[in-house]
């Protein structure tokens, strides 16, 4: 695990080693063990290393035998040894035992066909000195990030946006389109970022850029494909899940250093911890009752495995006091409160080791979110003609919020219009009232439409999973996993997000993913072979953070009010609308905690990157 930054510059900054040093130093947290640079006429790249595989060798940037190709790579290739044997048989000469060199020679031998062979998480860039061309790629699911910009004759790229900001050709401007979309999604969806003309390479894509191109060329090399098989029995699927997941966990443990595991009260991390045979698990919680504290669950399961559990209670002062620093590490605002908790559990783990396993991805591929059950509820309601349901939904939406009405409101919309992912904060109408300038970004339904179009022949639950795999998981789940772990120089590995596990999950029939009994139905049965039902059958909760509790306390209410009435806030938002959100929450007219937090997170992030502290 590591971080890199580089540029292909045809202008006056071509070979200034001070530039690449600054770009790389600012991401030292991604790799505190080593630093190295490669500089030639027009191209410079820097690398920060967190040593995990081939500790003595494996230094980057790395070149091939004749020095014509230069590689920087962030991630792990778990099946690199098998590919290395193939390449040795074909005559390639290796100077290290690292997975990095396998990528380099693999690209030489197979070109883009290399992706068919890889199993792992990665982002990398290979520079061809003869062609003066960069070839880059991001892994299948988007576990590792890759950012880029083309500005003033320079193609600039890196593992984090903050590296790009250090290049003198980079023009730092806010992308207000991203703000508008963020208010609905709670993250920036798609390839655009919060910085104008700055992009993230999307998962399963490659990129090519050379000195004679006006803009980068990109293409997709992989996409998950669901194709359910109805005939095999439940026992067949449970056996297959157990066998495939065990293989993935064992593969993800390849390392020359100790590997630990995160552990919450949920089935995903519990299944990982029970399968991994690690020495330590790590848990955090909040001292606001059992609802917000999973440490007892984690400690009890750890004693059963048995394994040492290391836990921490996060105080409100710690949470709020570190929020600015966390937004700096995040690069872009993310309004998921659990991101901060992930920062603290990563910090605890990093005191003991360099690598942890975690449970991200299980919900998306096996059907774990509670919202996935919605299309299966009250099936008779679906037989009512849609125009009537639409009318009923419109009437219900105009009434005061009441239990049961939300069902009528949601069923009054087509799935493609009501489901944009696991977060849906502000509607188009709400954000147009909130923002000083609106209508810049497309409606949320337009953003997710390309993914719906790819699975238009599938059932509603599969459609929802596919949208989450391409939007929510990338923009929220994996963003915080990478940024919060790397903020603490910790490598986070996700054995559920493996090509072989995905291939199996894609064949799983709907009835064994989501049904009346539970979500992740077959996976939970497989997990129950390793742990009691207390964990394997526990209802999906997400990571509980007491934001709504804090936003009833005078100290934090005042903090938010100061932020909402600041001069910076007035540049973007209608203050009266913001204050009404806050007052309605305080008076219990509505639970606006997540909407308030979404705006506040942006304001803190904006203060960090553009100046003008808000509170």
Query: What are the catalytic residues?
Result: 2
Number of DSSP helices (H) and strands (E) in the chain, helices first: 28, 17
Pairwise CA distance, residues 187 & 204, whole Å: 20
Peptide bond into 76 cis (omega under 30): no
- Backbone phi and psi for residue 209, each to the nearest 5 degrees, phi listed first: -150, 135
CA distance 388 to 377: 18
Output the 3-class SS for 194-234.
Answer: CECCEEECCCCEEEEEECCCCCCEEEECCCCCCCCCCCCCH
CB 374 within 8 A of CB 410: yes
Taking Cα atoms as reference points, which of 444, 456, 451 lies closest to residue 468? Answer: 451
Residue 569 to residues 173, 321, 436, 599: CA-CA distances in angstroms?
A: 17, 20, 10, 9
Closest CA to 274 of 252, 318, 306, 251: 306
d(CA 446, CA 130): 42
Q: Is 43 helix (H, G, I), strand (E, B) or coil?
A: strand
The Cβ-side half-sphere exposure at 471, using a 13 Å CA radius, reads: 29
H or E element: which one contains 281? strand 280-286
Give 220's strand partners: 205
Q: Which of 183, 84, 162, 240 is nearest to 594 (CA)?
A: 183
50: its two tokens? 């967190």
Give the dihedral of Cα atoms 27, 29, 34, 39; nearest 10 deg: 0
């Amino acid at each position: 695990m590591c971080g890199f930054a580089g540029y292909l510059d045809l202008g006056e900054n071509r070979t200034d080693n001070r530039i690449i040093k600054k770009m790389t130093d600012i991401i030292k947290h991604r790799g505190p063990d080593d630093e190295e640079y490669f500089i030639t006429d027009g191209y410079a790249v820097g690398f920060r290393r967190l040593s995990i595989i081939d500790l003595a060798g494996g230094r980057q940037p790395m070149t091939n035998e004749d020095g014509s190709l230069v590689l920087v790579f962030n991630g792990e290739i778990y099946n690199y040894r098998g590919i290395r044997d193939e390449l040795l048989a074909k005559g390639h000469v290796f100077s290290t035992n690292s997975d990095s060199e396998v990528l380099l020679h693999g690209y030489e031998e197979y070109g883009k066909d290399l992706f068919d062979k890889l199993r792992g998480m990665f982002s990398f860039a290979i520079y061809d000195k003869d062609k003066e061309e960069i070839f880059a790629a991001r892994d299948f699911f988007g576990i590792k990030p890759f950012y880029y910009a083309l500005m003033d004759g320079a193609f600039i790229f890196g593992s984090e946006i903050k590296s790009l900001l250090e290049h003198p050709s980079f023009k730092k401007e806010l992308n207000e389109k991203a703000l508008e979309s963020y208010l609905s999604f709670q993250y920036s969806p798609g390839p655009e970022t919060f910085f104008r003309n700055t992009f993230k390479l999307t998962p399963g894509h490659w990129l090519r850029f050379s000195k004679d191109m006006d803009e980068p060329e990109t293409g997709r090399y992989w996409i998950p494909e669901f194709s359910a098989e109805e005939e095999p029995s439940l026992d067949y699927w449970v056996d297959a899940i157990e066998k495939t997941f065990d293989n993935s966990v064992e593969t993800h443990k390849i390392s020359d250093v100790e590997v630990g595991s995160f552990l919450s009260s949920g089935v995903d991390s519990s299944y990982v911890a029970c399968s991994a045979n690690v020495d330590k698990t790590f848990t955090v919680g909040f001292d606001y009752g059992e609802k917000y504290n999973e440490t007892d669950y984690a400690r009890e399961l750890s004693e059963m495995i048995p394994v040492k559990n290391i836990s921490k209670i996060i105080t409100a002062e710690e949470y709020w006091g570190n929020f600015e620093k966390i937004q700096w590490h995040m690069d872009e605002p993310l309004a998921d409160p659990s991101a901060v908790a992930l920062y603290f559990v990563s910090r605890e783990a990093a005191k003991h080791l360099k690598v942890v396993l975690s449970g991200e991805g299980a919900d998306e591929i096996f059907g774990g979110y509670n919202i996935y059950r919605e299309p299966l509820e009250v099936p008779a309601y679906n037989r009512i003609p849609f125009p009537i349901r639409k009318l009923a939904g419109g009437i219900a939406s105009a009434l005061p919020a009441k239990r049961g009405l939300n069902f009528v409101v949601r069923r009054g919309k087509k799935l493609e219009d009501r489901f944009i992912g696991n977060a849906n904060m502000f509607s188009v109408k709400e954000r147009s009232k909130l923002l000083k300038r609106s209508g810049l970004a497309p409606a949320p339904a337009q953003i997710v439409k390309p993914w719906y179009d790819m699975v238009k022949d599938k059932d509603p639950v599969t459609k929802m999973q596919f949208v989450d795999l391409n939007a929510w998981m990338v923009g929220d789940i994996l963003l915080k996993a990478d940024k919060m772990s790397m903020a603490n120089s910790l490598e986070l590995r996700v054995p559920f997000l493996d090509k072989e596990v995905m291939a199996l999950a894609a064949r799983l029939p709907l009835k064994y993913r989501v049904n009346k009994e539970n979500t992740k139905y077959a996976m939970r049965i497989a997990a129950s072979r390793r742990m009691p039902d207390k964990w394997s059958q526990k209802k999906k909760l997400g990571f509980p953070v007491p934001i709504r509790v804090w936003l009833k306390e005078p100290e934090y209410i005042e903090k938010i009010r100061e932020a909402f009435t600041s001069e910076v806030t007035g540049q973007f938002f209608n203050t009266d609308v913001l204050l009404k959100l806050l007052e309605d929450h305080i008076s219990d007219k509505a639970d606006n905690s997540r909407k308030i937090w979404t705006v506040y997170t942006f304001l803190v992030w904006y203060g960090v990157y553009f100046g003008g502290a808000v509170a």
